Amino acid sequence: MRSSKTVLQRSSVPVILLIVCLLGLGIGGVSLKSQKSTGIQSNTPRIQNRTRSFEVVQVSPSVGENGEVELSLRNRYSKNITACAVSVNGSITEVDFAFSELEDQRGLSPESVYEQKYSFARRVNKSAARQNLDISILAVVFDDKTGDGDPKFVTEILDTRLGSKIQLTRIIALLNDALNLPRVPYEAVDTLKARISSLPVDSANSTSETAREGLRNQKSDALRRLESQTSLNPQERIRTLKDIYESLAARL
């Protein structure tokens, strides 16, 4: 199962955590925290890291009816990380910080720690009433658009960016057309939405599914933004979207 995220989300729900020493549990350098549960205990996580230096420093599993784990990951590279892929019990999450509109959330600088909660399918050893937890750090992408880890996931992230950039280029051209009118009437937004709706979600430059996902995502995002920015007049609405998309396209 694969899910994609573009913006880092953090939970504000407080949790009570118990620190457990792992000196005798065979996970060197990794801290494990556990929450009170409904009776199912969590096994020591099995961690596979396919990257060289995106280090797991803490695992905080929440065991019970719904599987969730919070991971703390440290960037031990000398370059900024702008995207990562992580698997927990087979549920794969790709996070691309480049899509964030907040400048301070567009990457992980060297030695910084990234904390994120991941949902996963529960795998319970019924005989011991213990929950298995398999964590794989699959890949990272850097600010110079190189990557480390499983090449499959590096390619997926970069292909999604490629599809997004292709569609952004098309949308920016339509936005410029609308802004070049002598006067931008209210009907211009409806005309623009119709033109964006007709944009293709494929490209001769890339035929991968993840590239098509990027094409679809940017098309739907543009329509959503044009629909929601009702407090602005048509020219302001179009110019605001153009500024956002030009900045994003330059990062991809």
pLDDT tens-digit series, residues 134-180: 999 999 999 999 999 999 999 999 999 999 999 999 999 999 999 99
Residues 26 and 99 in one domain: yes
Residues 138 and 206 in one domain: no
Length of the chain: 252
- CA dist 151 and 129 (Å) reads 36
- CA dist 96 and 156 (Å) reads 11
Q: Measured on CA atoms in the order 156, 58, 64, 116, is the torsion positive or negative?
A: negative
Q: Work out how many domains the chain is built from and give that number.
A: 2
Residues 70 and 140 in one domain: yes
Please tell me the pTM assigned to this model. 0.80
Residues 108 and 227 in one domain: no
Domain boundary among 123, 148, 173: 148
Residues 141 and 159 in one domain: no
Residue 157: CB atoms within 10 Å: 25
Residue 126 vs residue 118, higher pLDDT: 118
Q: What are the backbone dihedrals phi and psi of residue 67, each rounded to the nearest 5 degrees, phi first?
A: -75, 130
pLDDT, tens only, 11-62: 333 322 222 222 233 334 566 554 444 444 556 789 999 999 999 999 987 7
Range of the domain at 170: 155-251
Please report, as a single letter, which amino acid is at residue 251. Answer: R
Structure tokens at 47: 């961690």
Domain boundary among 148, 177, 199: 148
Helix, strand or coil, per DSSP, at residue 184: coil
Please report, as a single letter, which amino acid is at residue 81. Answer: I
